[in-house]
């Protein structure tokens, strides 16, 4: 590249007939206000196209302009320089031949960046022009943890460690070399899940390769496959981190591990079980940096927040959360506990497991091996002068009976049951052997919950709602007259931002059945669930179907998502 004074980009574009003098003047006037690069500004305004800008830049700097092949660029090569530096300077390594590094740059005149790259890498830099958005996209791909993990999986296949895996004791995998392929692979999988906001990681042994999947927004997505000769070492590394027995491969094991990457710290609950082709590992992601147990961060409507806070002010009684596994019950219960003034009230929990540590809350880990199951643990907590007790789950008659007794003797008790809706709590407690009189006297509220995927705001599209799905959601019941089902409604499309799923994140919906005097009398009388639901709706309960369709009507989710979560 010559060091003579550069020709002006505007003059080159005019000479090439790509733009008029008037358009250049408009662009320069706007540039003085925005301080944006002129070529980028003209491209955004639609005055020129990408090809015209590339040709003009190539003539201006007298070096070639490259259109990047994002699918075939080597990610490991791009990561020769730090991500923060590459993004700040808008540069990316493209090719390496004979110790000459071709460097894609938006501004090839940035001699300081060229010098720093030569110092970092030890290679001579050959600058090439690339458009800014292509550089950004290349960096996004190269520094994505899932891409790093895929590349590491290729590296690991040929590593000396795995070539000799049959001769290596798995306990030896816990070495200090953080650049060892198996350690880099494990770290990439773990931190990739955190950055993808996944809730679970699945390592599944299949022939000929191990499958790695993340559960994101409630859906499983295959991220990569691990070569068959590498999976034993990967599982061994996870076991070492989780303080599990690496020699035991015939029995299920549980463990916990924590990992740090910069300012990000996350913990994982690990479950390992033997399968016919190896060991299957599932890790629940417990991201300690992003969890917030505030009602405002739940996504619960304000009128329901007010209702729940009123329930928590009760001196005694039982509040039951219901819903399937993974519906967010624990997060909602933790938010309840954090809203209680623990300086004035003694708040204790018995959980299995204790997923997060809550400040000011006395948390107990249930352990049947030491006589500390939910029922016995609750009995011991009752001797600790509690005001509020959280029981992780009511699973059997003894726990149910002890919980009701605690609620009837002056304690506020919060727990969970696996039922489809709030009214189902009464039926489930009946099934566990409790009589209606005790249920009606102890229960102050039952709260059913679901998590619906949020539509991607970048690509959602307005549509006409599927009336058949809406009718199925209400299961033939008349749609409540108070429900406004007038649109617009939206559907999922898919784009780069949402990974082409059409959804990003989740929003909860709730069905809160407050036990009023009329409902308490109906429970004690043993009325069927259909009648209890009718009374609860008359007393102001919003059904899950109504809450879900309201979120769809507001454009937060889709009718299809409501249908799938409530009927699928």
C-alpha to C-alpha distance for 393 and 351, rounded to whole angstroms: 8
CATH number, span 295-567:
3.40.50.300
C-alpha to C-alpha distance for 156 and 508, rounded to whole angstroms: 41
Closest CA to 234 of 198, 292, 273, 281: 281
C-alpha to C-alpha distance for 284 and 266, rounded to whole angstroms: 10
CB 150 within 8 A of CB 188: no
Give the pLDDT confidence score for residue 483 in this predicted structure. Answer: 53
C-alpha to C-alpha distance for 41 and 261, rounded to whole angstroms: 37
Closest CA to 316 of 418, 403, 427: 403
- Give start and end residues of each alpha helix (H) in 122-209: 132-142, 145-157, 160-163, 181-195
Exposure string of 216-234, with b = 16+ CB inside 10 Å and e = fewer, is: bbbeeeebbbbbbebbbbb
Number of residues written out for the chain: 568
Give the pLDDT confidence score for residue 178 in this predicted structure. Answer: 54
CB 93 within 8 A of CB 103: yes
Q: Name the architecture of domain 180-287.
A: 2-Layer Sandwich (3.30)
Collapsed DSSP state (helix, strand, coil) of residue 561 = helix
Q: Find the distance separating the first CA and the last CA of the chain, reported in whole Å.
A: 63
State the pairing for strand pair 100-105/124-129.
Answer: parallel
C-alpha to C-alpha distance for 516 and 540, rounded to whole angstroms: 10
Collapsed DSSP state (helix, strand, coil) of residue 402 = helix
Give the pLDDT confidence score for residue 440 in this predicted structure. Answer: 94
Task: Lay out the sheet containing 503-514: strands in order across.
Answer: 362-365, 347-351, 388-391, 412-417, 317-322, 443-455, 503-514
pLDDT digits (tens, 9 = 90+) for 102-158: 898 888 888 889 998 988 888 889 888 888 888 888 888 777 765 566 556 555 544
Give the pLDDT confidence score for residue 299 in this predicted structure. Answer: 83
Extents of the domains making up the chain: 9-143, 180-287, 295-567
Report residues of the chain scoring pLDDT below 50: 1-3, 157-175, 481-482
CB 135 within 8 A of CB 57: no
Give the pLDDT confidence score for residue 150 in this predicted structure. Answer: 56
Closest CA to 243 of 233, 232, 230, 256: 256
CB 422 within 8 A of CB 448: yes
Bridge partners for 65 per DSSP: 129
3-state DSSP of 327-395: CCHHHHHHHHHHHCCCCCCCEEEEECCCCCCCCCCEEEECEHHHCECHHHHHHHHHHHCCCEEEECCCC
Evaluated on CA atoms 80, 83, 88, 94, the torsion sign reads: positive
R_g of the chain computed on alpha carbons = 30
Closest CA to 230 of 151, 146, 154: 154
Bridge partners for 226 per DSSP: 210
Bridge partners for 511 per DSSP: 448
CATH superfamily label, 9-143: Type II secretion system, protein E, N-terminal domain (3.30.300.160)
Collapsed DSSP state (helix, strand, coil) of residue 470 = helix
Angle at 393 between CA 392 and CA 399, to 5 degrees: 110
Collapsed DSSP state (helix, strand, coil) of residue 504 = strand
C-alpha to C-alpha distance for 440 and 290, rounded to whole angstroms: 39
Give the pLDDT confidence score for residue 548 in this predicted structure. Answer: 92
State the pairing for strand pair 461-463/91-97.
Answer: unpaired
């Amino acid at each position: 590249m010559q060091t003579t004074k550069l020709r002006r980009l505007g003059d080159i574009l005019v000479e090439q007939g790509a733009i008029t003098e008037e358009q250049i003047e408009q662009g320069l006037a706007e540039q003085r206000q925005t301080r944006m690069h002129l070529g980028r500004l003209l491209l955004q305004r639609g005055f020129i196209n990408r090809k015209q800008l590339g040709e003009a830049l190539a003539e201006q700097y007298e070096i070639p302009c490259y259109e990047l092949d994002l699918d075939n660029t080597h990610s490991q090569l791009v990561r020769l320089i730090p991500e923060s530096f590459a993004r700040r300077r808008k540069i990316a390594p493209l090719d390496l031949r004979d110790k000459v590094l071709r460097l894609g740059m938006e501004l090839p005149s940035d001699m300081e960046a060229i010098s720093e790259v030569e110092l970092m890498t030890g290679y001579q830099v050959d600058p090439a022009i690339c458009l800014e958005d292509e550089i950004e996209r290349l960096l996004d791909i190269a520094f994505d943890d899932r891409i790093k993990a895929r590349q590491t999986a290729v590296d690991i296949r040929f590593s000396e460690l795995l070539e000799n895996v049959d001769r290596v004791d798995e306990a030896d995998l816990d070495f200090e070399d953080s650049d060892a392929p198996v350690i880099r692979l494990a770290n990439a999988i773990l931190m990739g899940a955190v950055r993808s906001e996944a809730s679970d990681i699945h390592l599944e042994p299949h022939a000929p390769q191990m499958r790695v999947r993340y559960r994101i927004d409630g859906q499983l997505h295959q991220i990569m496959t691990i070569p068959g000769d590498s999976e034993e070492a990967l599982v061994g590394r996870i076991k070492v981190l989780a303080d599990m027995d690496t020699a035991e491969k015939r029995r299920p094991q549980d463990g916990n591990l924590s990992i740090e990457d910069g300012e990000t710290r996350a913990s994982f609950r690990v479950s390992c079980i033997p399968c016919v082709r190896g060991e299957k590992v599932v890790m629940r992601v417990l991201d300690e940096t992003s969890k917030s147990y505030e009602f405002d961060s739940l996504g619960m409507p304000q009128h329901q927040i007010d209702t729940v806070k009123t329930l928590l002010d009760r001196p005694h009684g039982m509040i039951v959360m219901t819903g399937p596994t993974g519906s967010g019950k624990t997060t909602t219960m933790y938010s309840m506990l954090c809203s209680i003034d623990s300086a004035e009230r003694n708040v204790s929990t018995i959980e299995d497991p204790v997923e997060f540590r809550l400040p000011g809350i006395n948390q107990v880990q249930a352990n049947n091996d030491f006589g500390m199951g939910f029922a016995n643990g609750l009995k011991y907590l009752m001797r600790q002068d509690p005001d509020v007790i959280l029981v992780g789950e009511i699973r059997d008659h003894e726990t149910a009976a002890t919980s009701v007794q605690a609620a009837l003797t002056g304690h506020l008790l919060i727990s969970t049951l696996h039922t489809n809706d709030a009214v189902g709590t009464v039926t489930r407690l009946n099934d566990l052997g409790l009589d209606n009189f005790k249920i009606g006297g102890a229960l102050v509220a039952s709260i059913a919950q679901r998590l619906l995927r949020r539509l991607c705001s970048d690509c959602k599209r307005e549509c006409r709602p599927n009336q058949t799905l809406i009718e199925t959601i209400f299961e033939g019941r008349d749609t409540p007259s108070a429900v406004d089902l007038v649109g617009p409604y939206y559907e999922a499309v898919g784009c780069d931002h949402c990974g082409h799923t059409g959804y990003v994140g989740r929003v909860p919906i709730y069905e809160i059945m407050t036990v009023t005097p009329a409902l308490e009398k109906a429970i004690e009388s043993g009325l069927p669930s259909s009648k209890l639901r009718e009374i609860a709706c008359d007393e102001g309960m919003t059904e899950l179907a109504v809450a879900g369709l309201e979120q769809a009507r507001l454009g937060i989710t889709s009718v299809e998502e409501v249908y799938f979560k409530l009927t699928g």
